[in-house]
Amino acid sequence: MYPIVYKESLNPTVTRMDILAPRVAKKAQPGQFIILRVDENGERIPLTIADYDREKGTVSIIFQIVGGTTMRLNLLKEGDSLCDFVGPLGKPTELEGLKRVAVVGGGVGCAIAYPVAKALCERGCTVDTVVGFRNRDLVILQKEFEAVSDEFVLMTDDGSAGEQGLVTDALKKLIESGKEYDQVITIGPLVMMKFVCKLTLEYNIKTIVSMNPIMIDGTGMCGGCRLTVGGETKFACVDGPDFDGHLVDFDSAMARGAIYKEQEAHAREVSCNLLKKEVE
């Protein structure tokens, strides 16, 4: 069992938990993920490692409450335990040799972007960070990003926090101001990453994306997380989750990600009803 030692609500739909998992914390690297089960009858869900503390033996996860399993996960309190917490899985983000990087995050994807920005800062890299949210109520990790960024730009769709507009607007402004990036690392919704990659392709800037497709076992055996990258089939759990964004077929990834929308909506409704009965 894996105890929850800390829980915090970052916004109405996003929660952070610190899990006591010393063996995972010992080997965790930015960009990797874990697979957890809330209980022995629960489904396996992948979550990116948002942070880790090797001395305390804890691993931080940040998740959005969108489905039945994340609803159940969010009901747990400090002192409760998870049934399974497997990892670290996937390949770490490659950071060697980078001198100036733009990190671009969107929504809950910022939870994945933060450990990458932090690791780059610790290596002495110049880090410019652009993050985007729909509105101020959904902003997460602002202080954390500011602490590890040489320049930090917050964008919101409605202008209620930071600047109004898209992350691509801010990134284009940074590039055209004369900043020369070795690489752009972008993590967020597929459509956001797609357009970040279209922009950086115009400026011939290498761009890495973190992919989070449907995943089951996390070992490459089920094939559920397959992607088309450079015309070849890749598996996000073992070949990634990081890939060259200019080679990713985002349209096929978005189509595959929507396959189970009806089933997900049904599962969410069933979970809501079950949880209401449990509360009653």
Sequential DSSP letters for 76-98: --TT-EESEEEEEESPPPP-TT-
The arithmetic mean of pLDDT across residues 90-110, rounded, is 94
Domain extents for the chain? 2-89, 93-210, 213-280
> How is residue 100 annotated by DSSP?
E
Most confident region among 96-110, 210-224, 244-258 by mean pLDDT? 96-110
Task: Tell me what the mean pLDDT of segment 114-126 comes to.
Answer: 94
Distance set, CA 95 to CA 39, 88, 161, 204, 276 (Å): 36, 18, 30, 19, 46
When pLDDT is averaged across residues 40-66 and rounded to a whole number, the result is: 92
Q: Inform me whether the pLDDT recorded for 46 exceeds 80.
A: yes
Instruction: Please state which CATH class domain 2-89 belongs to.
Output: mainly beta
CATH architecture assignment, domain 93-210: 3-Layer(aba) Sandwich (3.40)
List, as one string, the DSSP characters of 227-278.
EEETTEEEEHHHH-SEEETTTB-HHHHHHHHTTTHHHHHHHHHHHHHHHHHH
276 has pLDDT over 80: no
Residue 138 has pLDDT above 60, yes or no: yes
Report pLDDT for 261.
Answer: 65
Higher pLDDT, 280 or 236: 236
Express each pLDDT in 198-219 by its tens digit. 999 999 999 999 998 888 777 7
Residues whose CB falls within 8 Å of the CB of residue 26, separated by 6 or more in sequence, listed in order: 54, 57
Is the pTM above the cut of 0.85?
Answer: yes
Cα distances (angstroms) measured from residue 28 to each of 96, 194, 220, 239, 276: 17, 28, 19, 17, 37
Q: What is the mean pLDDT of the chain?
A: 90
d(CA 23, CA 268): 32
